Amino acid sequence: MSASLTLVLLMSLMYAVGIYVMMERSLTRFLIGFLLVGNATNILIFLMSGPNGNAPLWTGGPEDADMVDPLPQILILTAIVINFGITAFVLALIYRTWWLAQLGDEGDTLPDDHAHDTEEDAEEAFRQVDEDDEAIQRVLDASNEHEDDPEPDPVQTARDTEVGR
C-alpha cells in the first residue's frame, strides 16, 4: 500500500491541531487534543504498516506469501485501548474539577456528621457488632456444616460395598 497523500495530510493536520489544542489550560481542550493526537498516531501506524495482502492466518499454502504483518494491527489495537483508558481518566478528572468548582468555598471539606458522638455511643455501636458476630458463631457451631469429620466419599463407599468390605 502506498501512502495516500490524503491520509498523510489528515494525519499531519490532526497532529498539528491536537498539539495546539493540548497547550490550552482547559482540561476539556486537553482531552480533545489528546484524542486527536491518539487518532493521528493510529493513522501513522496504519500508513507505515506496509502493502495490502491476505489476512494474517497461517494456512500452509502458497497464499501465505501475500500475508500482511499482524504487528501493526496489534499496535493499533493497543493504542486504542491505551487511548480509551487515558480518556476515561481525564474525563474523571474533568468531572471532579467541575464538582469541586460547584462546591465553591466549601471545597472538598465535608461536615463531620459524628462530631457530637461520645465515646459511649461508639462503644454501643461496637458492642452491637460484637453481639452480631457472637450470634453468627453460635449458629455456625450449632449447624452440622462444619463438622470435624469429613463426609464419607460416596464413590469410595460404593467401591467398598462392591468389593465386600
Least confident residue range of 89-98, 102-111, 142-151, 156-165:
156-165
pLDDT of residue 63: 73
- How big is the chain, counted in residues? 165
Q: Does the pLDDT at position 12 exceed 60?
A: yes
pLDDT of residue 127: 83
Task: Report the interhelical angle of 5-22 vs 27-47 (nearest 10°).
Answer: 160
Give the whole-angstrom CA distance, residue 134 versus residue 35.
56
> Taking the mean position of all CA atoms in its chain, how far away is CA 31?
19
CB 76 within 8 A of CB 42: yes
Q: Does the pLDDT at position 158 exceed 80?
A: no
Give the whole-angstrom CA distance, residue 93 versus residue 98.
9
Where does 5-55+68-104 sit in CATH, by number? 1.10.287
Query: pTM for this one?
Result: 0.59
pLDDT bracket for residue 164 (50, 70, 90): low
Determine phi and psi for 164, rounding to 5 degrees.
Answer: 95, 25
The C-alpha cell that represents 3 in the structure block: 501512502
More confident residue, 155 or 118: 118
Domain boundaries, the chain: 5-55+68-104
Give the whole-angstrom CA distance, residue 83 versus residue 89.
10
pLDDT bracket for residue 65 (50, 70, 90): confident
pLDDT of residue 132: 86
